[in-house]
Structure 1
Amino acid sequence: MNLPASAREALDAFAQCPGWEQRARLLMQWGERLAPLTDTERNKDNRVHGCESQVWLVAEQCDCLWQFRAASDARLLRGLLAVLLARVNGLSSAQLAEVELADWFAQLGLSRQLSPSRSNGLHAVLQRMRELTRPIST
């Protein structure tokens, strides 16, 4: 599968990190890149359920491709969200349905550091993305 440019950038950046401390630092830096959500976007409708930390997700479609913005109060989670968005932004609904979360974080060298609760939370975020991008049947 062709990766979005931002996903290739993430893979290249994390491949340069020899150990977990460097990856954690890089993850925090990526988290700083998230476009902030407005206070009105941080509402209960945009809240992702299934995460221990608070996470909000906003989706916008442009030319059949999806762009997501996300926010969290937890620093490490913001970084994980940033690399998830790098992987999924610019995909169609069909491509999004094929994204394997575990494979993506393994490629980044981050899977061993994902606690079960963080992993479950990220799965909840991906599931919410898929719900938001599902075509509405009439």
Structure 2
Amino acid sequence: MATYTLYETTQLMTQISATNTPESQLFISLPAELSTAVTQIEQAKNWQEKYRHIMLLGKQLPTLADEFKQADAQVKGCESQAWLYHHQHNGQHFYLADSDARIVKGLIAILLVATQGKTTEQISQFEVTQYFDTLGLSGQLSPSRTNGLNALAEAIKRHAKESVT
């Protein structure tokens, strides 16, 4: 699959139109800087620093073009609006996601770092609570954010499971 910078991905995501479904070339491995940002969250010493890194991470995730913010792609269970698209290629699962809330967008990016390019088996074994414990985020998020995060993780798992033929 092609590799694009964050800028190129953002440009592609805002230029494609007509079908209201992102083209398959947009479903790519995430740039290394997103993984680095998640590592910074894990290493942050306090909640304020972690929160700041989550917000910055949300800024790094490309924005979906408005035509892709469709009701059928909306994740149910999130207090904020969040959209998720899935594409499977060579047994690996790729996702595009966005939210209207920057903190949620940062949390989405954290989930994508953990699941992008993984197999169905790897995604089915992914435990969001354990992952967020490792990052030092459990107990820091409001109940509504936690519910939304779980809804996003379940949607990722559901897409991977449903794509198995």
Alignment TM-score, normalising by the size of structure 1: 0.87
The higher-RCO structure (CA 8 Å, 6+ apart) is 1
Is 1:53 aligned to residue 80 of structure 2? yes
Partner SS for 1:68: strand
Tell me how many residue pairs correspond in the alignment.
135
Q: 1:81 aligns with which of 79, 83, 108?
A: 108
Give the superposed CA RMSD: 2.2
Deviations 1:69-116 (A, max 9, x none): 111111111111111111111111111011101111111111121211
- The runs of at least 4 consecutive aligned structure 1 residues that moved more than 6 Å come to none
Cα distance, 1:47–1:15 mapped onto 2, change above 3 Å: closer
Displacement of 1:11:
5.0
Q: 2:124 aligns with which of 67, 91, 97?
A: 97
Q: Indicate the percent of aligned positions where both proteins have the same amino acid.
A: 36
| Unmatched tracts of structure 1, length 5 or more | none
Cα distance, 1:137–1:101 mapped onto 2, change above 3 Å: closer
Alignment TM-score, normalising by the size of structure 2: 0.74
Trace 1:1-138 onto structure 2 (pairs within 5 A).
Answer: 9-10=36-37, 12-135=39-162
| Unmatched tracts of structure 2, length 5 or more | 1-29
Amino acid at match of 1:103: Q
Within 2, Cα distance between the matches of 1:75 and 1:5? Answer: 19
Within 1, Cα distance between the matches of 2:164 and 2:44? Answer: 45
Within 2, Cα distance between the matches of 1:95 and 1:57? Answer: 19
Within 2, Cα distance between the matches of 1:98 and 1:30? Answer: 24
